[in-house]
Chains A and B, each alone.
Chain A
Amino acid sequence: TQLLEQSPQFLSIQEGENLTVYCNSSSVFSSLQWYRQEPGEGPVLLVTVVTGGEVKKLKRLTFQFGDARKDSSLHITAAQPGDTGLYLCAGAGSGGGADGLTFGKGTHLIIQP
Chain B
Amino acid sequence: ETGVTQSPTHLIKTRGQQVTLRCSSQSGHNTVSWYQQALGQGPQFIFQYYREEENGRGNFPPRFSGLQFPNYSSELNVNALELDDSALYLCASSFPGEHSYEQYFGPGTRLTVT
A positions within 8 Å CB-CB of B: 4, 30-31, 33, 35, 40-45, 48, 88, 90, 92, 95-106
Contacts and interface: CB of A to CB of B under 8 A. Distances in A.
Contact of A98 (B43, B56, B104, B107): B56
Interface residues of B, number: 32
Given A98-B50, A102-B45, A103-B44, A30 B101 contact: yes
B102 A104 contact: no
A40 B107 contact: yes
Interface of A is mostly: strand
Interface of B: 4, 31, 33, 35, 40-48, 50, 55-56, 58, 90, 92, 94, 96-98, 100-108
A56 to B, nearest CB: 13
B103 A101 contact: yes
B107 A96 contact: no
B98 A45 contact: no
A100 B100 contact: no
A92 B55 CA distance: 15
Nearest to A100: B45
B45 A48 contact: no
8 contacts: A42-B4, A43-B90, A43-B105, A97-B31, A97-B100, A98-B56, A98-B100, A100-B46
